[in-house]
Chains A and B, each alone.
Chain A
């Protein structure tokens, strides 16, 4: 008698556990306002990423087409994957001094791991995160980008040398020498 009772007890407790799960899913079925998915391609225009969002490395230019990159190459040294190439050239200014400016700042998005070291170590804050995230392309060569715009020039800023920047620069010079040797 007892075993028969237990048999039915088990059936009822099993059904109750299933009913508990069904109640959760059923309650969401009746409340469609709780749906959390985004209609992505439809909301492209309104979609706003967070300010800190790591989309891609970019070089901000101001309204006069000027950037802050001096072409020191610290980002290139610090990049662990070799996704940054700084190609600089030497020009002679009107005063007769030779100056190093960047020719091309090449960024390989296909190799970037978004570790933020280039942006963090840049002594002149020339690099920043871009917000673009739609990186899918049909041709891999499109992922190699030139960050400085055509015809852009260096923005002359009043130098305020913080000690931290000095040490970075000193070390980078040292490292440059080592790599040259």
Chain B
């Protein structure tokens, strides 16, 4: 009796081994197909970077940033941004509020300069700094370089609103970036960044940024409305609205200190 049961179980075991091996072979065979449906994360973030890369062209637009803080009047900053992505150059020129009009930021090689027309002096700034009193960083207005600055540590999928997304967990390669860890929510059916979460070195969620509206310009996709939510100071947020976008060529002198000095003279 006992031996019979033993034999039966052994027989079952043999069968189950067979099924498992068969299943494994099936999945191994299927693997290339699966791999095809799940994109390469590195290539995906490169695609996100390339979406708004105007290399070979110049780009300029006006950004209006409205910042809300509890118990305070909304503050408004309007700036014209000039970009020459091929050389990683950019200029941010403050148009509003009037008291800060003519102030500017310039990226020259690896340096970021801040210019104040009231004293006609430059001081050193960085990509990591906030633009004026807004929740936006200087780096939010430049060409995104996720593929260059970060490595993907995890890739899962999920939903943002009604859109299925790839969720990519990114870890910074350098300390030149504003945030050590970034989580990107990239739309599956058409590659575009819908949301990003920025974390500090100790893992605290610092801000959440949503990109709910895009504009197509010369085959490139640019977020035209952005919402930045400060997760540390509850209730503080900034809305960025882009207008007057253009890819007309800009004179070389735009990307110089002299331009900032002359333009607000």
Is this pair of chains taken from one and the same complex?
no
